[in-house]
Amino acid sequence: YGRASMFLQKLMVYFSTVCRFCYLIGFNVVIKMMHFISPSLSKKHILRMGENITMTQNPRFKYEDWGPTFKSFVFVKFASKHMWLALGQEAFVGRDAPDSPVVTMDGRKTSICKYMKGFKQLVKDFSDESDFLVVYIAEAHSTDGWAFNNNYDINQHRSLEDRRCAAQILVQKEPLCPVVVDEMDDVTAIKYGALPERLYVLRAGKVVYKGGPGPWGYNLQEVRSFLEKMK
């Protein structure tokens, strides 16, 4: 039964990835055509999508910083790469949580499950019941990749030291929990299907909550509701 269940879950990953890829291509083509016919209409459509992923709520970015990138080939290229890597995920609800290797900010090698002992506001509210961990993975919007204007100047990581230096920006934001970085083979991002971002809840070495892939599936309120039920 266990193997059959795992097979079905993996099959669903492949199926959903194919669907997401088709949507990605269709979305990119439609947006380009829409922009050719009516730039204001394409902007309106992208802004509506931005509301769903909270981009319009981020005071750091104006539409001009991020909106036009969704019409680019770079967007398709990087989103497709994330989908391809997600095919290697091994983290499924009810199954053992992959104990993938990560590196602490001082360079010490450790692993995910070592942080299981027993985001800012979420950590404050549930720190008595849960241990929190941020794993910094490959940069989603690197300066030399799918870049947003007015964003942090971070190139794609070429070494573990690059990744640790980039993660220091996150540490300076004081997330109130440990921050570790994925190894350069992106093993954690792959096993957890985490690119570009994803939320998980692990309990007793098992995956008990698996959020959708970001940015659309990145839902802190959903995690909050789940943790409330676990109290």
Instruction: Please tell me the distance from the alpha carbon of residue 162 to that of residue 86, in angstroms, as a whole number.
Output: 23
Give the residue-averaged pLDDT of 71-82: 92
- Architecture of the 2-230 domain: 3-Layer(aba) Sandwich (3.40)
Looking at every residue in the chain, the average pLDDT score rounds to 89
pLDDT tens figures, 79-118: 999 999 999 999 998 888 999 999 999 899 999 888 765 4
pLDDT tens figures, 165-215: 999 998 998 888 999 999 999 999 999 999 999 999 998 889 999 999 888
Query: How many beta carbons lie within 10 A of that of residue 92, not counting itself?
Result: 20
pLDDT tens figures, 22-34: 999 999 999 999 9
Using alpha carbons only, give the angle 180, 188, 137 rounded to the nearest 5 degrees.
55
Residue 100: name the closest of 167, 45, 201, 182 by CA. 182
pLDDT of residue 176: 86
Do residues 34 and 45 make contact, with C-beta atoms less than 8 angstroms apart?
yes
Do residues 177 and 116 make contact, with C-beta atoms less than 8 angstroms apart?
no
Amino acid found at 198: R
- pTM listed for this prediction: 0.75
| Residue 2 in this model has a pLDDT that exceeds 70 | no
Instruction: Please tell me the distance from the alpha carbon of residue 176 to that of residue 169, in angstroms, as a whole number.
Output: 14
Give the residue-averaged pLDDT of 60-71: 90
Residue 45: name the closest of 32, 57, 60, 62 by CA. 32
Share of the chain above pLDDT 90, in %: 57
